[in-house]
């Protein structure tokens, strides 16, 4: 059995330990039963974002967006496609900067859409502007410290 990786449940914010060789078998949160790495983009609140960015050992790509932003809305299907492509070795989430403006301030965000890649408690890289799925996948694979 491989070493466990810490994954924050993006539904209830509980930290779970999952053997990395079991990621493809659809692990679920031990508290709420939500799937931990299913290739879907999860909407986050600031508390869950803070916990996941500090705890997760798998790459976590977060889309900072707003509903009024045309490029953000245009990129959403591409972001979802990239999430499916990289599952279960990377997870994707989004946070609405209109609902949570304090997040923009905390991360020094000056323009959206902005993708920030986190892993092992650190920000790894940023990618600004609307991008096609292939560019997003390439970005994660080139910067992540794991098999993505």
**What is the per-residue pLDDT across 57-96, written as a single tens digit (0 to 9) for each?**
999 999 999 999 999 999 999 999 999 999 999 999 999 9
Average pLDDT over residues 33-48: 95
Query: Which residue out of 9, 12, 29, 72 is catalytically annotated?
Result: 72
72 is catalytic: yes
CB distance 70 to 26 below 8 Å: no
Query: Which residue out of 12, 29, 32, 69 is catalytically annotated?
Result: 69
pLDDT of residue 146: 58
The DSSP code sequence of 81-118 is HHHHHHTTTSEEEEEETTT-HHHHHHHT--SSSEEEEE
pLDDT of residue 148: 53
Q: Tell me the pLDDT band of 54, cut-offs 50, 70 and 90.
A: very high
**What is the per-residue pLDDT across 87-116, written as a single tens digit (0 to 9) for each?**
999 999 999 999 999 999 999 999 999 999
Q: Tell me the pLDDT band of 3, cut-offs 50, 70 and 90.
A: confident
**What is the per-residue pLDDT across 108-124, written as a single tens digit (0 to 9) for each?**
999 999 999 999 999 99
Average pLDDT over residues 121-128: 96
pLDDT of residue 145: 75
Q: What are phi and psi of 60, to 5 degrees?
A: -125, 115
Looking at CATH, the fold of the domain delimited by 38-143 is given as Glutaredoxin (3.40.30)
Q: Tell me the pLDDT band of 147, cut-offs 50, 70 and 90.
A: low
pLDDT of residue 131: 97
Question: What residue ranges do the domains of the chain occupy?
Answer: 38-143
Q: How far apart are CA 147 and CA 35, in angstroms?
A: 20
Comparison of pLDDT for 31 and 148, the residue scoring more: 31
């Amino acid at each position: 059995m491989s070493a466990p990786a810490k994954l924050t449940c993006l539904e209830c914010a509980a930290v779970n330990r999952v053997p990395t060789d079991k990621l493809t078998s659809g692990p679920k949160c031990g508290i709420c039963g939500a799937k931990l790495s299913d290739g879907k983009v999860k909407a986050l609140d600031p508390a869950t974002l803070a916990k996941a960015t500090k705890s997760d050992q798998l790459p976590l790509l977060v889309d900072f967006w707003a509903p009024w932003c045309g490029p953000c809305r245009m990129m959403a299907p591409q972001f979802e496609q990239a999430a499916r492509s990289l599952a279960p070795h990377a997870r994707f989430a989004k946070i609405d900067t209109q609902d949570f403006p304090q997040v923009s301030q905390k991360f020094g965000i000056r323009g959206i859409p902005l993708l920030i890649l986190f892993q092992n408690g650190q920000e790894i890289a940023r990618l600004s502007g609307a991008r096609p799925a292939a560019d997003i996948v390439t970005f994660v694979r080139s910067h992540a410290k794991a098999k993505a």
